[in-house]
């Protein structure tokens, strides 16, 4: 995963956990992450679609956790943001080459194993546990 999505979404979720008694705005979150609020709103929508965040529209609106932080693992977060993305991009080898025609299948098996290990490790950390690191 060669992008900032995981870090951005974790930041959003930590803020919503730390300010769980308040509605927090995309502008507030964007100020903390130091990104454009549009980036934050895009990620909030992904979390809403995954039924992790809810939001209230309007002047006094903002977002909030709808799932308990103890039930949200980093493995869940990883799977939400990578569900339509290949773990690693592969080449298009020559199908007539005895090595090339087997390469992608072999890489798929390797990458699946690595990704499953990553998800398992990430699943050992909940949002609640991680958020406790921040005062």
Element (H, E) at 103: helix 100-122
| Complete domains list, the chain, with CATH | 5-86+127-131 (1.10.10.10)
User: pLDDT of 24-36, one tens digit each?
Assistant: 999 999 999 999 9
Beta bridge partners of residue 64, listed in sequence order: 54
User: Model's pTM, two decimal places?
Assistant: 0.85
User: pLDDT of 63-100, one tens digit each?
Assistant: 999 999 999 999 999 999 988 766 667 788 899 999 99
| Cα–Cα distance for residue pair 43/98, rounded to 1 Å | 43
Closest among 8, 5, 1, 9 to 53, alpha carbons compared: 9
């Amino acid at each position: 995963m060669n992008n900032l999505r995981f870090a951005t979404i974790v930041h959003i979720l930590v803020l919503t956990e730390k300010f769980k008694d308040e509605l927090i705005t995309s502008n507030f979150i964007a100020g903390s992450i130091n990104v454009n609020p549009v980036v934050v709103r895009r990620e909030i929508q992904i979390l809403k679609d995954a039924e992790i965040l809810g939001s209230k529209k309007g002047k006094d609106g903002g977002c909030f956790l709808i799932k308990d932080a103890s039930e949200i693992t980093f493995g869940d977060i990883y799977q939400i943001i990578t569900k339509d993305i290949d773990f690693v991009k592969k080449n298009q080898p020559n199908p007539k080459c005895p090595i090339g025609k087997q390469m992608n299948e072999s890489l798929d098996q390797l990458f699946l194993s690595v990704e499953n290990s990553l998800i398992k490790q990430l699943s050992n950390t909940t949002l609640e546990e991680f958020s406790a690191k921040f005062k």
